[in-house]
Each structure stands twice: as structure tokens, then as C-alpha cells.
Amino acid sequence: MEEINSLMQGFSVALTYHNLLFMLVGILLGVLIGVLPGLGGANGVAILLPLTFTMPPTSAIIMLSCIYWGALFGGAITSILFNIPGEPWSVATTFDGHPMAKAGRAGEALTAAFTSSFIGALIAVIMITFLAPLVAKFSLKFGPPEFFAVQLLTFCSFVGLGKGHPAKTITAMMLGFALAAVGLDTVTGTLRMTFGTSELLRGFDF
């Protein structure tokens, strides 16, 4: 498999001394950023991008991706200790982590969070490396009927798995669709529901 050759070549570049140092710096910075609520991995990478202007590109990418991974773990630290999720996806860590910290088992919670993140990330990276070409070949067969089927499944599952009354779920969904339909129609070029105002030409974009 030529992926193993590429991997070995990549490892030989990544495991040099200065790249390892950049990894250390990146993870430290990343944990610092992840601990701050509101400043997540993506924002942190964007803010610390100027640090990499004088570095060789491979080292720059290594440091930026380590900042991102560090931020993922930093979010878990505040979730467990302060019940404040540092990242949007650390919210689930607050459900079990903070009660464990209040019961005095904070070290256990942090270790569990780190270990599970590590194993999950390792499996995900291995899967992406080896399965990505196969998934790419399969996704090329997706046409408009398949896209429609996926979206129909999504919206039906909203109604089926929602807690409230289905009428309210459907109302909310249709409200979202109606807001998305405002503006210039990309297929025919007519203006829908702008009622003469020019600010709504682009529609609502949030």
C-alpha cells in the first residue's frame, strides 16, 4: 500500500528535533487557548497564525495542528473543573466530568477525558488515512436523488426524535426554510419575498 510509504516519509519529517519542539510549544499554546471559554480551536489557530510566518511550512502546519488538538483538550479541563465548557464540543464533558470533580475525582476525570480523546483521535486518523480514498470513490456516486434522500432523512428524524409536539417541530423547520428562501433565486434569478427592499437581495445569511 502506498499509504504506508507516505506515512513513513511523513513520520521521518515530523520526528525531527525542532519539529518536536514546535509540537510541544503548539500543544502548550493550544491548551492555554482551549482553557479560555469563547476562544476555541479554530479561533486560536487564526489568532496565532502570524507566529508561523517565519517558519518553514511543514513546521508551521505541525504547530498549528498541535494548537488545535491542544485546544480540544483545554476545553475539557475547564469543563471538568469549572463546569464551563471551553469549547462547544466540551459541553458533554461537563455532564459527568464536573460531578466527578465535585466528588474529589478530578484527576480521574481529566485522565479519562484525555485517554478517550487520544484513542478516538488515533482511530479517526487511521481510518481517514486508509479509508479516505474508498469513501471518496463512493461519494462520487452521490447525485441529486441521494442528496435529497439524506436531507429528507434528516428532517424526518427531527420530527420523529423531537421531544415537543410535532406541529411545533414542523413549524420551526418550515420557518427556517422560509427564511432561507428569501432573496435571489439561484436557478431562475427572480427575487423572492424581498418586498422591494434592496438589503434582502442576498437573503438572510446566518
List contacts with other proteins (CB under 8 A): 165, 167-168, 170-171, 174-175, 177-178, 181, 185, 187-188, 190-193, 195
Residues 74, 35: contact at Cβ < 8 Å?
yes
Residue 53: CB minimum distance to other proteins, A: 23
Nearest-approach distance from CB 185 to other proteins, in angstroms:
4
By C-beta, is 88 or 189 nearer to other proteins?
Answer: 189
Which CB sits closer to other proteins, 7 or 170? 170
What is the H or E stretch that residue 184 is in?
Answer: strand 183-184
Give CA–CA dist 50/130, Å, rounded: 33
Q: Is 104 left (phi over 0), alpha (psi -120 to 50) or beta?
A: left
The 3-state DSSP class for residue 100 equals helix
Nearer to other proteins, 141 or 165 (CB): 165
What's the closest the beta carbon of residue 177 comes to other proteins, in angstroms? 5
Please give the single-letter amino acid code of residue 162: G
Nearest distance from C-beta of residue 45 to other proteins, angstroms: 25
Q: Hey, is 141 helix, strand or coil?
A: coil
- Please name which of 70, 69, 79, 89 lies closest in space to residue 31, comparing C-alpha atoms: 70
Closer of 192 and 202 to other proteins (Cβ): 192
